[in-house]
Structure 1
Amino acid sequence: MWKAERMRTTPGARRARSPRRIIAAPLTALALAVALTACSGDDAGGGGGGGGGDEATAEDLLADAGDAFGETSGLQLALTTDDLPEGVTGLSAADGVVTSAPAFEGSITVVLAGNPVQVPVVAVDDVVYAQVPLTPGFQQVDPAQYGAPDPAQLLAADGGFVTLLDQTTDLEDSGEERNPDDPSQVLRTVAGTVPGSAVESVIPSAEGDFDASYGFEDGELRSADLTGVFYPDTDPMTYSLRFTDYGTEQDITAPAVP
């Protein structure tokens, strides 16, 4: 390149170099160097265990999700099942906000004498309040009587979802799947086994081992399907949990009680 330049600038035909060309050359070289550096950086650090990328192991995913539970101010929780055993008084659905206070505000649906009953619930300061049908306003209740946990404790470091993840064994990375609740979302999935002592944080009467299937995105647990015996003397069934809106902030206070 430089030789060709000298040949074009022979005596008698020499011209002053354009300042624009003198500046453009080093700028072009600088842009090329930046682009090459960025590409090599992407190749070396893509994914990463901490962010839930392709290189993250199943253990990484569960550990990161446990950290996310411990660090979030709150999230939206939904629990459902389509196969609650016949004749069981138990939890068929729950939906609400659970915070790190700890506190919960939302509703649960329990099946009583074969009939589903949706009950508004507030849980704060280790007390659970519910608007029980045929009673005025909120009442203090023992959720275990309805086959439900204290929902405010589900983000607790001891006994909540963190314990569920910590005690999951026989991990198997199941690859990527589209979220059935949101097809635009791709989840890394992991299967494993959870002891009943850990699942009690979700359903107090759980017993035996449970099959678990987890879905993760961006270091957070998005879904959990748990299959096993949740109620005594019944066949195995599945509860599906969904976790959205990490970082939710909501001030939840105890309701007035008559």
Structure 2
Amino acid sequence: MTLPLRTIAAAVLVGGLTVVSVAACSGGDDPVTENKELDDDGDGDVSPEEILAAAKQKLDETSGVEVSLGTDDEPDDGDYLREAEGTIIAEPAAFEGEVTGRVMGVNASDIGVVSVDGDVFVEVPVLGWQTYDPTEFCAPDPAQLLDPETGVSPILTATENLEAGESELGGEDNDETLTPFTGTVPGDTVRNILPCAEGDDFDATYRIDADGRLTDAEITGEFFSGMDAITYTIEVQEYDVEKDITAPE
């Protein structure tokens, strides 16, 4: 069952990698580019870099997040992640969720993944819960993806050539003012989390609410060897989550 574990490990990573998104719990009519509280250098201009730095800080300070991700892209060959959802807790670091995708050429759904106390468990069909070492499969411990130094939030501040787009309405009730930011994430930054990522760089689009929280992210690039570029979209339904996650029995 090595290949399923490898596939699920990579899937969990991608779910966490684009984990850089958090749904806003509040917002306002003014776009984030007019939020003077984010003007760190006091020059009167809220730059894209200042906004992404604020979004990173909010991720770093949260107790946990509820996340979901998916892709409309389906590679012709190979195993891949189609959908994932779950909870990441910052302290103590833990993860609990499910993934869906193609494993050994067969569609698989609702595969459980839990990480607590440095142990990662995958619910392998027929065999039940199995432990694995993520480093053997070029994947991180998903519970560590909210770590401010080695997790995914540093991707925000590593994004280059940032440009702000035109603000738009979004959110669950389409009543939040969201501002898109586009840029390029260096492949080396991605490889800090996914050592086997093949791309030299990844295209990213972030949408940030009026309070400086990231609401969703699209990251496009060559995540898996032998596959064309894939775009993953992440949404987080809840911020500041608290949950007691325990190892499966």
Name the TM-score, length of structure 1 as normaliser: 0.72
Contact between 2:181 and 2:207, CA under 8 Å: does it hold in 1?
Answer: yes
Task: For residue 66 of structure 1, report the CA deviation from its aligned partner.
Answer: 0.7
Matched residue type, 2:157: D
- Mapped to 1, the partners of 2:70 and 2:176 lie a distance apart of 20
Matched residue type, 2:215: R
- Mapped to 2, the partners of 1:61 and 1:135 lie a distance apart of 46
Partner of residue 102, structure 1: 93
Percent identity for Structure 1 against Structure 2: 38
RMSD: 2.5
Residue 125 (structure 2) pairs with residue 133 (structure 1): yes
- Mapped to 1, the partners of 2:234 and 2:193 lie a distance apart of 10
- Mapped to 1, the partners of 2:221 and 2:97 lie a distance apart of 26
Bigger radius of gyration among the two: 1
- Mapped to 2, the partners of 1:134 and 1:65 lie a distance apart of 41
Task: For residue 150 of structure 1, report the CA deviation from its aligned partner.
Answer: 2.6
- Mapped to 2, the partners of 1:79 and 1:231 lie a distance apart of 17
Any unmatched runs of 5+ in structure 2? 1-33
Partner of residue 22, structure 2: none
| Paired residues, number | 208
- Mapped to 2, the partners of 1:121 and 1:181 lie a distance apart of 27
Matched position secondary structure for 1:171 = strand
Task: For residue 202 of structure 1, report the CA deviation from its aligned partner.
Answer: 6.4
Partner of residue 232, structure 2: 239
Matched position secondary structure for 2:35 = coil
Residue 102 of structure 2, aligned match among 101, 111, 118: 111
Q: For residues 146 and 108 of structure 1, do their structure 2 counterparts lie closer, same or farther at Cα, with a shift above 3 Å needed? A: farther
Matched position secondary structure for 2:166 = strand
- Mapped to 2, the partners of 1:182 and 1:189 lie a distance apart of 18
Name the TM-score, length of structure 2 as normaliser: 0.75
Matched residue type, 2:96: E
Matched residue type, 2:148: A
Q: State the Cα deviation string for residues 161-183 of structure 1 (Å, max 9, x = none).
A: 21211211110111312337653
Residue 163 of structure 1, aligned match among 129, 154, 159: 154
Residue 229 (structure 2) pairs with residue 229 (structure 1): no
Any unmatched runs of 5+ in structure 1? 1-45
